[in-house]
Amino acid sequence: MTSSMIDGKRADSARRRQRVIKALDAALRTGGDITVSALARDARVDRSFLYRHRDLLERVHAAANTPVEDGQLAAVSRASLQTDLANALQRNTRLATRVRQLEKRLSGQLGQQAWNESGLGAQPDIEQFQRRITMLEQEIAETRAELEERTEELEASRAANRELTRALNQPH
The number of beta carbons lying within 10 Å of the beta carbon of residue 40 is: 21
Q: Which residue has the higher pLDDT, 159 or 72?
A: 159
For 119-129, the pLDDT digits (tens) are 776 566 888 88
- The pLDDT of residue 76: 58
pTM over 0.85: no
Q: Can you tell me the distance from the alpha carbon of 31 to that of 63, in angstroms, rounded to the nearest whole number?
A: 11
Q: Can you tell me the distance from the alpha carbon of 170 to that of 151, in angstroms, rounded to the nearest whole number?
A: 29
For 15-64, the pLDDT digits (tens) are 999 999 999 888 888 877 788 888 899 899 998 998 898 898 888 888 88
Query: Contact at 8 Å (CB) between 57 and 51?
Result: yes
